[in-house]
Amino acid sequence: MSEEPTAQYDAIVIGAGFGGLYALHHLRDKMGLSVRSFDGASGVGGTWWFNRYPGARVDAPSSPFYAFTFSQELVDEWDWTETQTKGTDVLAYLEHVAERFDLLKDIQFDSFVEDARYDEATQRWTIETSQGDTASARFLICATGALFVANKPDYPGIDDFAGDMFHTGRWPHEPVSFEGKRVGVIGTGSSGVQAIPEIAKTADHVTVFQRTPQYSLPARNRPLADGELDEYRQDWGKLRESMNRRGGWPFPVSRLKAKDHTPEQRWERYEEMWERGGMHLSINSFVGVLADEELNNEVSYFVRSKIHEIVDDPETARKLTPDYHFATKRLILDNGYFETYNRDNVSLVDLREDPIESFTPTSVMTADGEHPIDMLVLATGFDAVSGSMLKINPQGRGGMRLADKWDQRFDTYLGMTIAGFPNLFMIHGPTSPGVLFTMPLGGERQTQWIDACIRHLDENGLGAMEPTEDAEAEWDEEIIGLANRTLYPRTKSWYTGANIPGKNRQFLAHPAGSRYFDHLNEIAEGGFEGFTFEPARTEVPEPAAD
């Protein structure tokens, strides 16, 4: 531990991705609080700092919507170039934001927060970093990232592999050359589907090891046309409001009912949405693709037929064909993924028929034989949503560790607060909309709610707030109810915790973002039902002016 005395702040923010950067800006510049941010990376960007694998792009409606919405000036001055933003462009944008709003001076990089403890006597959190520094604050804002803790499969002998091995979520910052290499890729989620076509362009051979086939839609990425950004800029206020109202989507969502159309008309509409690309088939074909089983079966069948149309070899197409409900795993937007299997230098191993048994220094051994490789790419995803909080494993009231609290279920209230962990707030925590809403906007709105909490404490001479366990239990029921109205829980995915052996099985996101944010407002306006408060034990600062 550092010899330096523990630095004191009003708030500590963990993470310098979208969520953490906005929290730092808002709490410091809009509320006048003293704030210190910590991040384990050497620069801003969070997910985008770590996920630099080839082909990385935003997998949701992106430019200019996958961006901060709070500043018209920022919207006016940043020129996005493509409809599906490249990871490196998102990173450049976040670097610009950090400079423009003078955030860097208050962020300590290369400093993972490894411990956080709440002291009931002082009503303060103290954190310790991987550098041994400590800091203390009234409020702990955890913007630790929904996709941070990389999942490395524990296949026997995987570490015996002697070639380069990279995880997409921890990609090196130096260029990686695939030239002349035989590359094995394990995993076909968004990261694998984005990386495989890029790797195949220069590799000698790519062997894809697939556990579950995926539904993936053509992204139809294109350069933004002249004047397109200006249109968005002129109408930014309205656009932002409509994103709030439409679950984060910037465009109108279909109100068409499938039952009002003939099978031929429906098929025509699916074709139209497929041609438009992006998420349109899922959210803009007919109402209820994710809730109406019959409709979903038809859309699933449509996408399966597209896979068979695109992939030349029927046996490869068969292996690539998913057999679960469309879009119940995270939907993927690709740039030529299925087409890549028509290349001579790409082959597919279906691990459900031919599982991996072991590794040698130069190959992957599956039940059917040996696959020689020079490089291994693990596109095997993350201990999503809950993993980054559990890595810190904060210690709340009475010394309770989060890992014990979350032993059976990831209990939270509103996906942002936890009973027994006063004054700790999560951005994109378990059971908040997080990955099911446009994340930059969702983070802004959650931070604005934290603002309301802090003002409520300060205006009432209160020192700490936390939810009751009853409120958590009711919230849990509500999320279960909402999730069960959809088809999501029927599929094994990282949304349900099923991708990590031994992880609690629980739907990890609030599936109705607009309703969620309305509810947050109601909670704040109604005097914070579901929370208990303690009087301040130390002097409370004057609330900052608006």
Beta bridge partners of 119: 124
Contact track, ligand N01, 311-330, x by CB under 6 A: -------------------x
Query: Distance between CA 67 and CA 546 in Å, rounded?
Result: 24
Q: With contacts defined by CB under 6 A, how many residues of the chain interact with ligand N01?
A: 27
CB of 425 to ligand N01, least distance (A): 22
Is residue 195 close enough to count as binding ligand N01 by CB under 6 A? no
Query: Distance between CA 118 and CA 137 in Å, rounded?
Result: 10
Name the residue number minimizing CB distance to ligand N01.
189
For residue 264, give both structure tokens: 């031929």
Closest CA to 499 of 209, 193, 189, 58: 189
Residue 110 backbone class (left: φ over 0; alpha: ψ -120 to 50; beta: rest): left
Of the two residues 27 and 385, which places its CB atom closer to ligand N01 in the complex? 385
Of the two residues 68 and 286, which places its CB atom closer to ligand N01 in the complex? 68
Sequence-separated (6 or more) residues with CB below 8 Å from residue 82: 62, 63, 89, 221, 222, 223, 224
Is residue 211 close enough to count as binding ligand N01 by CB under 6 A? yes
For the four alpha carbons of 504, 509, 515 and 518, in that order, the dihedral sign comes to positive
Stretch 153-172 residues interacting with ligand N01 (CB under 6 A)? 153, 168
Counting Cβ atoms within 10 Å, is residue 410 exposed (0-12), middle (13-18) or buried (19+)?
Answer: buried
Is residue 335 close enough to count as binding ligand N01 by CB under 6 A? no
Is residue 381 close enough to count as binding ligand N01 by CB under 6 A? yes
Closest CA to 47 of 82, 79, 90, 83: 90
Q: Are 21 and 98 in contact (CB under 8 A)?
A: yes
Longest Cα separation, the chain? 74
Is residue 188 close enough to count as binding ligand N01 by CB under 6 A? yes
Of the two residues 36 and 330, which places its CB atom closer to ligand N01 in the complex? 330
CA dihedral 444, 445, 447, 451 (to 10 degrees): 130
CB of 40 to ligand N01, least distance (A): 18
CB of 202 to ligand N01, least distance (A): 20
Quick count: other Cβ atoms within 10 Å of Cβ 309?
10
Contact track, ligand N01, 35-74, x by CB under 6 A: ------------x--------x-xx---------------
Q: Are 199 and 54 in contact (CB under 8 A)?
A: yes
CB of 487 to ligand N01, least distance (A): 16
CB of 369 to ligand N01, least distance (A): 17
SS3 127: strand
Instruction: Report residue 198: phi and psi, to 5°.
Output: -70, -45
Query: Distance between CA 451 and CA 449 in Å, rounded?
Result: 5
Of the two residues 424 and 435, which places its CB atom closer to ligand N01 in the complex? 435
Closest CA to 440 of 88, 58, 155: 58
Of the two residues 381 and 433, which places its CB atom closer to ligand N01 in the complex? 381
Is residue 143 close enough to count as binding ligand N01 by CB under 6 A? no
Which range of residues in 172-180, 182-190, 298-306, 482-490 is near ligand N01 by CB under 6 A? 182-190
Query: Distance between CA 191 and CA 302 in Å, rounded?
Result: 24
Contact track, ligand N01, 337-376, x by CB under 6 A: --------------x-------------------------
Residues in the chain: 546
Per CB under 6 A, the list member of 191, 207, 366, 496 interacting with ligand N01 is 191
CB of 17 to ligand N01, least distance (A): 10
CB of 356 to ligand N01, least distance (A): 7
For residue 259, give both structure tokens: 């039952």
CB of 354 to ligand N01, least distance (A): 12
SS3 425: strand
Which range of residues in 101-109, 187-195, 479-487, 507-515 is near ligand N01 by CB under 6 A? 187-195
Stretch 429-488 residues interacting with ligand N01 (CB under 6 A)? 435
Of the two residues 58 and 116, which places its CB atom closer to ligand N01 in the complex? 58
Per CB under 6 A, the list member of 45, 192, 218, 250 interacting with ligand N01 is 192
Of the two residues 168 and 207, which places its CB atom closer to ligand N01 in the complex? 168
| Beta strands, E only, 361-500 | 363-366, 369-372, 375-378, 424-426, 462-467
CB of 267 to ligand N01, least distance (A): 28
Of the two residues 188 and 417, which places its CB atom closer to ligand N01 in the complex? 188
The footprint of ligand N01 (CB under 6 A) covers: 47, 56, 58-59, 147, 151, 153, 168, 186-192, 194, 211-212, 330, 351, 379-382, 435, 494, 499
